[in-house]
Amino acid sequence: GVENISNGAPYKSKIRPIELEDLLCRDEVKINLGEIFGYIKGETVLVTGAGGSIGSELCRQVVALGPSKILLLDHAENSIYDIEMELCKLSTACTVVPIVADVREKKRIDQVFASHKPSVIFHAAAHKHVPLMEVNREEAIRNNIFGTKNVAEAADRYNAKSFLLVSTDKA
């Protein structure tokens, strides 16, 4: 208890630093970076939702793994500009291509795939704020379901090597 700790009782020695797993309430996921590096290095990688908090972090991590090109796709030009500028400062050999597009627009997504032929796709574009989307269901369905369908079908049509749906609350 707090009283025991504050008066220096023997329990003080049982205090330990907080670990990430304490906050997650689950075991840490071990990632095989060598395996990931192997399928990203030298590839053209598309990140949808690249301007968002999850998408932009994906971009930072992907660039470090050596793709030849990273396509930053989002419908918000300001956030795409910000992550593009950040990635360009890293001075990697990776070409950074900002793409302002909406995943709901099937024809535009097809143009992106036809032009750039991405082989690895990280699909993070989605409305993720569940309570807000519960009162805006039509928009959530259009974006999260039909947008995902458009990107997944284009990945299939253009023979992408991998398609990873980055699912958070949108599941």
Catalytic residue check, 170: yes
Q: Is the model more confident about 6 or about 88?
A: 88
Query: Do 168 and 125 form a contact (C-beta atoms < 8 A)?
Result: no
The residue whose two tokens read 């284009």 is 154
- pLDDT tens digit sequence for 44-63: 999 999 999 889 999 999 99
List the one residue out of 105, 125, 112 whose CA is nearest residue 49: 125
- Which of helix, strand or coil describes residue 40? helix
Q: What is the pTM (predicted TM-score) of this model? A: 0.80
Residue 171 has pLDDT above 50, yes or no: no
List the one residue out of 100, 106, 99 whose CA is nearest residue 146: 106
- pLDDT tens digit sequence for 20-42: 666 766 666 666 666 766 889 99
